[in-house]
A and B are shown apart, each in its own frame.
Chain A
Amino acid sequence: MVDRSLPSRIWDGIIIVLLLIIAAACILPFIYILAASVTDPAELIKKGFVLFPTKLSLIGYKYILSTHVITSSLGVSISITVIGTLANLFFTALMAYPLAQRELMGVSVIMRLVVFSMLFSGGMIPTYLVVKETGLLDSPASLIIPGLISAFNLIIMRNFFQQLPDGLEEAARIDGCSDVAILFRIVLPLSAPVLASLALFYAVGHWNQYFNAILYINNNAYWPIQVWLRQIVILSQGGIGDSSQFGQDFVPPPAETIKMAVIVLSTLPILIVYPFLQKHFAKGALLGSVKG
């Protein structure tokens, strides 16, 4: 039985309108940036605000892609995201599986140490010095190895392993399967949901990280796209495009167009995969609230 009275309908209407406004506030900035980045610079300057450009122009993209700076940093970001996420998942699973064995000696001590590392840390400078001592400074590996296993994700995966039925592992063990083979052949294939969610969170984390790169990497050939984004959009550093490729009387596009094009290039990968993976993200968000 649904309340169909007038006040109730007005109430519904107000909520729907408010939610639409909120959703628009979340999405419109992206649409504006996308639209403005493909708008002819003259039109953009004249109108100021453009959602439906009448005259299209890809000059911003052509200009920033005229040097290899952006393409190669996108390459760095993609490799770090792919390699990093695979390494994260492999090492997280490898450690989570033995930690999920309740009868294994020493597990509770290790768990305590893992949890403590979430509550207290050496902080930025000592971590920086360890990264330096382990020879990772100025190497893309510094964006993968120091964050190899997230304690939080480790606990989530361990909890998931613990609630898998014991019978399957038992049966495999009787059939002579080794503990390692059980993890890779039986446990992991059953863990697809948790692996998917953790992979997404690790991957988004890799794609979006910028501060570690600022901290650990001086050589700008190894900078991921986010660091360039900061340089161009926030610090307004120019010189990304190469005007000489466009002929003599070429006028470089205005800074705004360039900035918007860089934002689009660095955000598009996430916005493209997001609608397909949305379900896993939302599920994953709740994984963390399942207690360890």
Chain B
Amino acid sequence: MDMVKQTGALQKQRRASFWQRVKRHRWFYIMLLPGMIYFFIYKYLPMWGILIAFQDYQPFKGFSGSQWVGFKHFETFFQDEMFWNLFRNTFVLAIYNIVFFFPMPIIIALMLNEVRKESFKRIIQTLIYVPHFVSWVVVVGISFLFFSTENGIVNQMLSSAGKEPVNFLLSAEWFRTMITSQVIWKETGWGTIIFLAALAGIDPQLYEAARMDGAGRWRQLWHITVPAIRSTIIILLILRIGTFLDTGFEQIFLMVNPLNRDVGEVFDTYVYSSGITQGKFSYSTAVGVFKSIIGLVLVMGANRLAKRFGEDGIY
């Protein structure tokens, strides 16, 4: 009897202390409320909305009135030849990105690190960060002005050198080169920041000691500088693989046109054109879900890999 009474009292006490704690911190909870409502409506409701991928969603019938169709849209998508097309396009762009763009910030950061005059280094940094801050519309717009076949200065130069004009913007074979070059131009400078931070953390005594031992600058670079940023490089590479499918939608959306759609269409642009333009809500949601799930698996795998390398990971 005593025991029962005691537990009952304890429970009551615990419950009381729960509400007391809530009450004591009520202002904290009130402050949390707007943010939680925001995350609920604009982040978690859309996740719930994924269910329309399993329906034949009709806007006028609404979510509850539309018919459930199971995995029909997924099957259609997997059987469509578009599926492999999207996969190939995304994959090739991602490989281009990793091979051609990824090393650029590292190289430039190493070059900046060799500069002894602080003021010169700072001026260069200020200038190379600029392209990061303009919109993709401006970057693509500038490309259109420079590379168009009518009046673009690049083609004017080509023709004054007696060469045939090249259709950089409206042809499939130049699409990937243009996309990757634009990324290199826009993001290389900004990408150096994280490597410069890692380089700034190197103990100057290491260089001192190496010089005592007679190491030249090339050997200092190879044996001190590069090893010091190796873990940063590995982690960024792993994280980049985690976002493998994210091929820069805002940019590709602007660059893609009927003449290069064959190589330019990626998951996100396909979702837009089949969902918003053609109104196939359920089908395009299924395509989006497929991409999101692959993306989630990749990010979690990359994160685990990063942790195995003794790093913190992203979450």
B184-215 CB mask vs A (1 if < 8 Å, else 0) is: 01001110011001000000000000010000
Q: Which residues, 1 to 25 on B, are CB-close (under 8 Å) to A?
A: 18, 21-22, 25
Measured CB to CB, the nearest residue on chain A to B271 is A124
Top 6 closest pairs, chain A to chain B, by CB: A122-B46, A95-B35, A126-B49, A123-B288, A208-B135, A233-B141
User: Contact between B44 and A23 (Cβ–Cβ < 8 Å)?
Assistant: no
Max count, chain B CB within 10 A of own CB: residue among A48, A124, A125: A125
User: Contact between B194 and A285 (Cβ–Cβ < 8 Å)?
Assistant: yes
Set B36, B137, B142, B285: member contacting A125, Cβ < 8 A: B285
- Interface membership of A99, Cβ < 8 A: yes
Residues in chain B within 8 A of chain A (CB atoms) = 18, 21-22, 25, 27-32, 34-36, 38-39, 41-50, 52, 108, 111-112, 114-116, 120, 123-131, 133-138, 140-142, 144-146, 151, 153, 156-157, 185, 188-190, 193-194, 197, 211, 216-218, 249-250, 253-254, 268, 271-272, 275-276, 281, 284-285, 288-289, 291-293, 295-296, 299-300, 312, 314-315
Q: Once the chains are docked, how many angstroms separate the CA of A281 from the CA of B126?
A: 10
User: Contact between A23 and B128 (Cβ–Cβ < 8 Å)?
Assistant: yes
Which residues of A sit under 8 angstroms from B43, Cβ to Cβ? 117, 121-122, 151
Q: Once the chains are docked, how many angstroms separate the CA of A204 from the CA of B136?
A: 12
User: Contact between B145 and A122 (Cβ–Cβ < 8 Å)?
Assistant: no
User: Contact between A121 and B144 (Cβ–Cβ < 8 Å)?
Assistant: no
Instruction: List 8 other contacts, CB 8 Å, given A94-B31, A120-B295.
Output: A8-B217, A11-B217, A15-B111, A123-B289, A124-B276, A208-B136, A209-B135, A270-B134
- Interface membership of A246, Cβ < 8 A: no
Q: Once the chains are docked, how many angstroms separate the CA of A128 from the CA of B46?
A: 8
Which residues of B sit under 8 angstroms from A81, Cβ to Cβ? none
Q: Once the chains are docked, how many angstroms separate the CA of A104 from the CA of B189?
A: 41
Which residues of B sit under 8 angstroms from A226, Cβ to Cβ? 135, 137
The B interface is mostly helix, strand or loop, or mixed, namely helix
Which residues of A sit under 8 angstroms from B136, Cβ to Cβ? 208, 210
Q: Once the chains are docked, how many angstroms separate the CA of A240 from the CA of B295?
A: 41
Set A154, A210, A259, A267: member contacting B145, Cβ < 8 A: A259
Q: Once the chains are docked, how many angstroms separate the CA of A30 from the CA of B50?
A: 43
- Interface membership of A183, Cβ < 8 A: yes
The A interface is mostly helix, strand or loop, or mixed, namely helix
Q: Once the chains are docked, how many angstroms separate the CA of A283 from the CA of B45?
A: 34
Q: Which of A54-62, A141-149, A160-168 contacts B (4 or more CB under 8 A)?
A: A141-149
Max count, chain A CB within 10 A of own CB: residue among B114, B135, B151, B291: B135
- Interface membership of A192, Cβ < 8 A: no
Which residues of B sit under 8 angstroms from A207, Cβ to Cβ? 135
Name the distance in Å between A209's Cβ and chain B's nearest Cβ.
Answer: 8
User: Contact between B288 and A278 (Cβ–Cβ < 8 Å)?
Assistant: no
Q: Once the chains are docked, how many angstroms separate the CA of A230 from the CA of B143?
A: 12
User: Contact between B126 and A275 (Cβ–Cβ < 8 Å)?
Assistant: yes
- Interface membership of A16, Cβ < 8 A: yes
User: Contact between A285 and B271 (Cβ–Cβ < 8 Å)?
Assistant: no
- Interface membership of A191, Cβ < 8 A: no
User: Contact between A123 and B141 (Cβ–Cβ < 8 Å)?
Assistant: no
Chain A count of residues within 8 A CB distance of the other chain: 93
Which residues of B sit under 8 angstroms from A233, Cβ to Cβ? 137, 141, 144-145
Which residues of B sit under 8 angstroms from A129, Cβ to Cβ? 46, 49, 52, 281
User: Contact between B115 and A148 (Cβ–Cβ < 8 Å)?
Assistant: no
| With known contacts A49-B153, A270-B133, A289-B197, A104–B254 Cβ distance under 8 A | no
Set A25, A27, A121, A234: member contacting B141, Cβ < 8 A: A234
Measured CB to CB, the nearest residue on chain B to A181 is B27
Set A20, A25, A94, A113: member contacting B39, Cβ < 8 A: A113
Q: Once the chains are docked, how many angstroms separate the CA of A105 from the CA of B20?
A: 12
Name the distance in Å between B66's Cβ and chain A's nearest Cβ.
Answer: 12
Set B25, B50, B254: member contacting A234, Cβ < 8 A: B254
Set B44, B142, B315: member contacting A263, Cβ < 8 A: B142
User: Contact between B39 and A126 (Cβ–Cβ < 8 Å)?
Assistant: no
Name the distance in Å between B233's Cβ and chain A's nearest Cβ.
Answer: 14
| With known contacts A1-B211, A146-B42, A29–B142 Cβ distance under 8 A | yes
Q: Once the chains are docked, how many angstroms separate the CA of A1 from the CA of B44?
A: 59
Which residues of B sit under 8 angstroms from A98, Cβ to Cβ? 25, 28-29, 31-32
A246-261 CB mask vs B (1 if < 8 Å, else 0) is: 0000000000100110
User: Contact between A124 and B288 (Cβ–Cβ < 8 Å)?
Assistant: yes
Which residues of A sit under 8 angstroms from B35, Cβ to Cβ? 91-92, 94-95, 149, 154
